Amino acid sequence: MKPFQYLLIFFSLLNLGNSFFIPPENFQKCGLDESLGVILCIAPVTTLFQDNINLQNITRARGIRIVDECRNATTCLAQYPCVTQVQLDKVFNLLCDTISYFSTDFASCQKKLIAQMPPCMRDAEKNLLNIEKIGHPCDLISKYQPCMETEITNICGEKYWTPLDTILKKLQKYAHIKCPITDTEV
């Protein structure tokens, strides 16, 4: 597996694996009609992940298609006030932006990471592919953010890490959580 795929898995698990990282109790604020509408809005996007939840085969063309469907879903979601209350619209936009970044601007860094394959990213691969063992999304952030930041910055440059750091900070803000970052071997 390629290092950029670990990063995609990391970000997709934070979003997809955790109901777009919105606490379930927040959805109790939504009525049945709105909940069904939300499902219909995001179905075209989630269908694109159906056979490929870990995003292993994402290409520029596939990424662009997913982003196009993301934008359509975002427009659809805007008609449901509940979506804004639980900030699903913001988290969903963040998912779209993440996929867009990985399938375009991050490509040159991806090649460098593949060539050098940092040990901590190999460890991340083993753990990220075992979804059952992943608890709270903060577990992922706390354990792997230091590794990703160090390796991406050292190998590719800070300009490739900065967008990812922004994504993680926004995700924590929208989900109303604060994940501690632990020191890990890098």
Contact 91, 20 (CB under 8 A): yes
Residues contacting 164, CB < 8 A, separation 6+:
7, 11, 101, 148, 149, 152
Higher pLDDT, 172 or 27: 172
Top pLDDT among 17 and 61 is at: 61
E strands present in 39-115: none
Specify if 30 maps to a domain.
Answer: yes
d(CA 39, CA 102): 25
Is residue 181 included in any domain, yes or no? no
The domain containing residue 50 runs over which residues? 3-174
Q: What is the pLDDT of residue 60?
A: 75
State the chain's maximal CA–CA distance in angstroms: 50
* Tally of domains within the chain: 1
pLDDT at 184: 43
In a domain, 185, yes or no: no
Residues 6+ apart with CB under 8 A from 161: 148, 149, 152, 153
Looking at residue 158, its pLDDT comes to 95
Beta strands in 4-159 (DSSP E): none
Give, in order, the Cα–Cα distances in Å from 23 to each of 19, 90, 126, 175. Answer: 8, 14, 27, 8
Q: What does the pLDDT read at residue 154? A: 94
The whole-number pLDDT of residue 156 equals 93
SS3 assignment, position 178: coil
pLDDT band at 18 (very low <50, low <70, confident <90, very high): very low
Question: Mind listing the pLDDT tens digit for each residue in 147-184?
Answer: 889 999 999 999 999 998 998 888 778 777 777 765 44
Q: Read off the pLDDT of each residue in 34-43 and give the average, rounded to a whole number.
A: 83
Nearest to 58 by CA among 114, 99, 17: 99
Give a yes or no: residue 182 inside a domain. Answer: no
Torsion of CA 29, 136, 15, 102, to 10 degrees: 160
Residue 111 lies inside a defined structural domain of this protein: yes
Position 180 in a domain: no
169 to each of 38, 94, 104, 146, how far by Cα in Å?
Answer: 25, 11, 21, 14
Distance of alpha carbon 169 from alpha carbon 32, whole angstroms: 31
pLDDT at 185: 39
**Of 38 and 9, the one with more pLDDT:** 38
- DSSP tag of 79: T
Average pLDDT over residues 101-120: 81
Question: Is there a domain that residue 110 lies in?
Answer: yes
Rounded to two decimals, the pTM is 0.71
What is the band of 1 on the pLDDT scale with cuts at 50, 70, 90? very low
In angstroms, rounded to a whole number, what is the distance separating the alpha carbons of residues 42 and 46? 6
Q: Is pLDDT above 80 for 10? A: no
Residue 186 lies in a domain: no
- Identify the residue whose tokens are 């988290």: 91
